[in-house]
Structure formats: C-alpha cells, structure tokens
Amino acid sequence: MSGLTVDHEGRIFAIDEEGMPRARSGFSVRLPMAPRIVVMVNGFDYDPTEHSNDNPHQTLFREWASKIRELSTDEWECFGFGWYSAELEPSSWLGGLTRSHWNPYRWGWELAGRAAGILAQTIQNRLNASNDDICIIAHSLGVRVALSALAQLPSDAVRRVLFLNGSEYSQSAKVVATYTDSQVLNIIVKADDVLNKLGSVFAPEAFIKAVVGQSGIKNPPDSWLDICLDDPDVQQRATACGYPNISGDNPTNIADHWYSYTHEPNWPLFADFITDSPRFHEFNRKTADRKTAVMPPATTHS
C-alpha cells in the first residue's frame, strides 16, 4: 500500500513499509501510476508520524484496503493520505491553544483546510492518463478534507467518492456538490451522537448543526446519493439487493462514530459503489423514489 504523510507543520513525506514517514529525497507528491486508485483519508484524532494506533497507515487504511481488495475482482491501488488532524492528548490541547483554538478539534478543523490543498495537489499531479479511475474514501473530518480538495480540482478529476459519517457542514458540502461531477455516496448515521451532540459544541460554528453525516444535503444533484444506514426502509431495500444487515448504529456502544466501517456487512455496499458494480446500481434504482433522480453509471474521462 502506498501513501504519504502530512505532519503537524505541513511537511510532506513518503511512507515506508511500516507506514512511517521516510526521507523526502526524490519524493514526488502525486498518486501512483495505476489505472484504478482509491485514496483513503483519515478523520480527526490521528498522527501519521507515530508508530501507534493513532497512525492511520498502520490501522485504518490497512483495514479499508483489505476490504476493498477482498471484495473486488479488479486490481485497485490503495493510497493512504495520512494527515495530522490533532489528537485528544495534552500536546494537541497545547498546540491548539498556542494557535488560538480552545480545543484540538478546532485545530484539526483548521488543519483540514491545509491538508485539502495538499490532497488536491497530489491528485492534480497525477491527472495525465485519460482513463484513470480515481476514487476517494473519507471518514468524519476527512470528509471536509476531501470536499475542499474537490473544490480545487477539475470537476471530473475524481470518479467516485464515499463519505462516512462526515462532519463537514451540509451548506458547505452543497456548494461543492453542485460543482463536481464526482459520484458521491454519502453515508448518514442519525444515531451518531459524536456528530449530534459533540460536533456542534466543539466545531467552529457552534450554532450550525447540519452536517453531511446526519443531514446530507438538500435537493442533491443526480450525482449525490444520501443513504441513511439506520433507515429501516433503506435496510429492507438493501437486503433485497444482496446487502443484508447494513447498519450504522452499534446497539451495544453509545456514540459509536466508527461503526459504519467497522460493521462488516456494510462493506459489500461500499465496495460495490467504489468498483461501480451493477449490483450497486440496482440498489440505487430501488432507492430512486427517495431522491430526485437515479445516479447515472460512471463514465470514463475524455
């Protein structure tokens, strides 16, 4: 698995086989030369320079890459975009305070903007081949990174985007959604108490509660599909299409912000979307009456 690391100062590193940053000598900030690429973006509370569970290259990205390769018949290059997003540790509280942020999450929110520029550059530097199939998976605050990057790229640069429990504001996401040609599957979890109860407290805009991971966007374009994993109707339709037991809420764990991707039965749906499977398009057709129109099949770049 390839990837890069952005540290707390914005320095960019390639990663070694263990997912740790290595010397930057000769390192080119661009995606690998592969026809099918999934770019994975972590959310809040990660430090990709550490040799620990806080390093997404060593944990999160390996899990996601394993699922994509297990469930896909095609060869996909999985690329980890690991950015320092502040942590719930004393050093991050201090780091945030020295930068006029009263909590680490607000510092992470600011860092997401810088990371978005680097992600956009990384993708832009790869836009040479005419048939690149570039996709993005992002969770939580990583959704803010991905959306901000899409706004800086050509509208057709990224083919498909999977958002999980996104913490970006719905009104900001709507602006990008109307610009980009990317097909977006936005996963909503109404029971996500981290977003519902904590996001509006710690995020920069204290009086705005609508985020894409709980509210989606109003009047989405045809290329944007909001799916609530906890909606019984959605679950029934998903089962009929071969996706049984999808769920976004862990009944045994309060405020489980990560269940959308740790719950194994959700991954066939995610993988089918990323790989543009006919089964996903059948599921999309069955949910057509819940949105304005059916998401069209992906097309190759011209």
CA dihedral angle for residue 151, residue 6, residue 192, residue 244, rounded to 10 degrees: 80
- Give all domains of the chain, ordered by start, each with its CATH number: 2-290 (3.40.50.1820)
| Sequence-ordered strand ranges (E) for the chain | 2-6, 12-14, 36-41, 77-83, 133-139, 160-164, 183-188, 224-228
| 141 touches 257 (CB < 8 A) | no
Strand order in the sheet with 77-83: 12-14, 2-6, 77-83, 36-41, 133-139, 160-164, 183-188, 224-228
Q: State pTM to two decimals.
A: 0.90
Residues 270 and 181: their CA atoms lie apart, in Å, by: 19
User: pLDDT digit of tens for each residue in the chain (302 aa)?
Assistant: 899 999 999 999 999 999 999 877 567 788 888 889 999 999 999 999 999 889 999 999 999 999 999 998 788 999 999 999 987 776 765 676 677 666 778 888 889 999 999 999 999 988 765 567 899 999 999 999 999 999 999 999 999 999 999 999 999 999 999 999 999 999 999 888 888 766 666 666 655 678 999 889 999 998 999 999 999 999 999 999 999 999 998 878 776 899 999 999 999 999 999 999 999 998 988 776 555 344 545 544 43
